[in-house]
Structure 1
């Protein structure tokens, strides 16, 4: 099945042969958010050629990582139990990548699925478990998310009609706040974050909850 064979017998080489091809883990990342139709995956990965997307989906299905399932008179792709075992690996890679990534290049896009998984990657249960439950509304371009934190649990979904204690309009440079490179105050001064509604003091809580660095836990 694998397009690449490393000629070694080990768990690492087997894993790379199955999910190490270009685009494969990004497909898995988006499916970790939820079931997706072919068109959903293509929209979320706009630069992937259609033939490559079809090939990767076939390879991942043959390897048992994902499956096709009926949903509302359509067909969606879903992760199998084997595929969902990749979740901590994808989150760890996302957390590591957020530490070394730069500002987006021209033409780079942020999708709801990519931002959702970046936030899951940066979520700090140690900080969140000490803070009051909070719901944030996050706008980044066309992406509009509800981010609900309750103790050590976080749930992220497209915005519907939930009530948010803090509504933020942010640029892609929100990564610098998450990485601890700028303070919440500096993020506002630099235009990285704009508070559209809610209590401005809760921005410090957001920065403590979604962080790659040690952050002093606020109220």
Structure 2
């Protein structure tokens, strides 16, 4: 492959050579939730040119991170999926996503929230220790996107759409930034409901529970310069 080499016999250097090219980690992110066709990957990465997606898939396949498989359905579609080796990236993807989420503020006008990104964000923000002995179904509405998160005794299952169960609370933040503030604990749940930043249906007290169970660390303070000890 023509991936850039750093010329170092180092695990981190090799990892970056394998998955550090532009778009590669986002391809991995979208395969963490399961196999996808080429067109499905394109839909989740709306700004990627088809030629670049093809190149990244070939590179990831070369490194043994993903594989292609022909489905048994009548259309015999080709899907891409993580290998066992590639699947070991799932927690790395979640942790890196949460690290980056600490620096999220307001989305730019051309930035979108994809289904897979939103689902993985909830998985990454989930705090099992705060969900022990709790059984709550949350419905989260972000514009045209609806997610259902079923919390049961320290575990969570997140899926697109309205779940089979009636949600205990439906949460609709006015903007993605408001949701981000809730997850960081930067906005009070009761105040957000009172001033209309969040529209809820169902048990309103569960909005505070939501921000306890799904949490992102606060935005890091701006650097004040290098301190030499």
In structure 1, distance between residues paired with 2:82 and 2:21: 17
Work out which of the residue numbers 196, 203, 206 in structure 1 matches 2:207. 203
Work out which of the residue numbers 91, 109, 131 in structure 2 matches 1:128. 131
Shift, 1:93, TM fit: 0.6
Within a 5 Å distance, the mapping from 1:30-49 to structure 2 comes to 30-49=30-49
Judged with a 3 Å threshold, the aligned counterparts in structure 2 of structure 1 residues 102 and 67 are, in CA distance, closer, same or farther, namely same
Shift, 1:89, TM fit: 0.8
In structure 2, distance between residues paired with 1:166 and 1:172: 18
In structure 1, distance between residues paired with 2:19 and 2:93: 11
Within a 5 Å distance, the mapping from 1:1-219 to structure 2 comes to 1=1, 3-71=3-71, 72=73, 73=75, 74-129=77-132, 131-160=133-162, 161-170=164-173, 171-173=175-177, 174-189=179-194, 191-195=196-200, 197-213=201-217
What runs of 5+ residues in structure 2 fail to find an aligned partner?
A: 219-229
**Paired residue secondary structure (1:69):** strand
8 Å contact from structure 1 (residues 145, 157) kept in 2: yes
**Paired residue secondary structure (1:48):** coil
Shift, 1:189, TM fit: 4.2
Shift, 1:190, TM fit: 5.1
Structure 1 runs of 4+ with >3 Å offset:
189-192
8 Å contact from structure 1 (residues 188, 194) kept in 2: yes
- Cα deviation per residue 1:8-31 (whole Å; 9 max; x = unaligned)? 110000000000111111111111
8 Å contact from structure 2 (residues 102, 217) kept in 1: no
**Paired residue secondary structure (2:102):** helix
Judged with a 3 Å threshold, the aligned counterparts in structure 2 of structure 1 residues 186 and 5 are, in CA distance, closer, same or farther, namely farther
Judged with a 3 Å threshold, the aligned counterparts in structure 2 of structure 1 residues 89 and 138 are, in CA distance, closer, same or farther, namely same
The structure whose Rg is larger is 2
In structure 2, distance between residues paired with 1:112 and 1:168: 16
TM-score using structure 2 length: 0.87
What runs of 5+ residues in structure 1 fail to find an aligned partner?
A: 215-219
In structure 2, distance between residues paired with 1:192 and 1:40: 33
In structure 2, distance between residues paired with 1:87 and 1:2: 25
In structure 2, distance between residues paired with 1:114 and 1:29: 8
